[in-house]
Amino acid sequence: MSDGQDTACCAPARPESNNPSVAATVQPRSRNRSTRGMVLIPGAEYLMGNQDGEGYPGDGEGPVRRVRVDSFYIDVGTVTNAQFAQFVKSTGYKTEAETFGWSFVFHSLVPPGVAETVNKAVLEAPWWWPVAGTYWRRPEGPGSSVVKRPTHPVVHVSWNDAVAYCKWAGKRLATEAEWEYAARGGLTQMKYPWGDELMPDGQYRCNIWQGQFPDSNTGEDGYIGTAPARSFPPNDLGLYNIAGNVWEWCSDWFSATRQSTHLHENPTGSATGTARSMRGGSYLCHSSYCNRYRVAARSSNTPDSSTGNLGFRCVRDA
- How many domains, in total, are found in the chain? 1
In this prediction, residue 258 carries a pLDDT of 74
| Contact by Cβ (8 Å): 146, 152 | yes
Domain-embedded: residue 34: no
> In angstroms, how far is the first alpha carbon of the chain from the final one?
39
Which residues, at least 6 apart from 68, have a Cβ–Cβ distance to it below 8 Å? 43, 44, 45, 46, 263, 264, 265, 266
Say if residue 278 is exposed, middle or buried (CB neighbours under 10 Å; 0-12, 13-18, 19+). buried
Give pLDDT, residue 23.
39
Evaluate whether 152 touches 212 at the Cβ level (below 8 Å): no
How much is the average pLDDT of 214-236?
A: 97
Q: Do the domain assignments include residue 25?
A: no
DSSP state of 29: P
Which residue type occupies 303?
P
- Which sign, positive or negative, has the C-alpha torsion 32, 163, 259, 47? positive
CA distances from 142 to 52, 172, 258 (A): 44, 31, 43
Has residue 280 been placed in a domain? yes
Residue 2: is it exposed, middle or buried by C-beta count within 10 angstroms (0-12/13-18/19+)? Answer: exposed
Q: Which residues, at least 6 apart from 180, have a Cβ–Cβ distance to it below 8 Å?
A: 48, 279, 295, 296
Would you say residue 310 lies in a domain?
yes
Please state the rounded mean pLDDT for residues 133-158. Answer: 98
In this predicted structure, what is the pLDDT of residue 8? 66
Residue 3 in any domain: the answer is no
Structure confidence by residue, pLDDT tens digits, 29-84:
455 678 999 999 999 999 999 988 888 878 999 999 999 999 999 999 999 999 99
Measure Cα distances from 84 to 78, 136, 249 in Å: 11, 9, 15
DSSP-derived secondary structure letter, 10: T
* pLDDT for residue 53: 83
Most confident by average pLDDT, 32-36, 52-56, 177-181, 287-291: 177-181
Residues 67 and 43 sit within 8 Å (Cβ to Cβ)? no
Of the candidates 161, 163, 178, 158, the one whose C-alpha atom is nearest the C-alpha of residue 268 is 178
Find the length of the chain. Answer: 318
pLDDT for the residue 3: 39
Would you call 250 exposed, middle or buried from its count of C-beta atoms within 10 A (0-12, 13-18, 19+)? buried
Contact between 117 and 143 under an 8 Å Cβ cutoff? The reply is no
CATH of the domain at 217: 3.90.1580.10
Would residue 208 count as lying in a domain? yes
Strand duo 72-75 + 315-317: pairing: antiparallel
Please say if the pLDDT value at position 25 is more than 80. no
Q: Is the pLDDT of residue 21 over 50?
A: no
Does residue 19 lie within any of the structural domains?
no
Which pLDDT does position 16 carry in this prediction? 73
Average pLDDT of the chain, as a whole number: 92
Q: Give me the phi and psi of 248, to 5 degrees please.
A: -125, 125
Q: Distance between CA 265 and CA 48 in Å, rounded?
A: 12
d(C-alpha 144, C-alpha 156), whole Å = 13
| Beta bridge partners of residue 38, listed in sequence order | 75
Instruction: Tell whether 93 is covered by a domain.
Output: yes
pLDDT for 289 equals 83
Percent of the chain with pLDDT over 90: 83
The predicted pLDDT at position 32 comes to 61
- Domain extent, residue 59, equals 40-318
By DSSP bridging, strand 128-132 and strand 211-212 are: unpaired
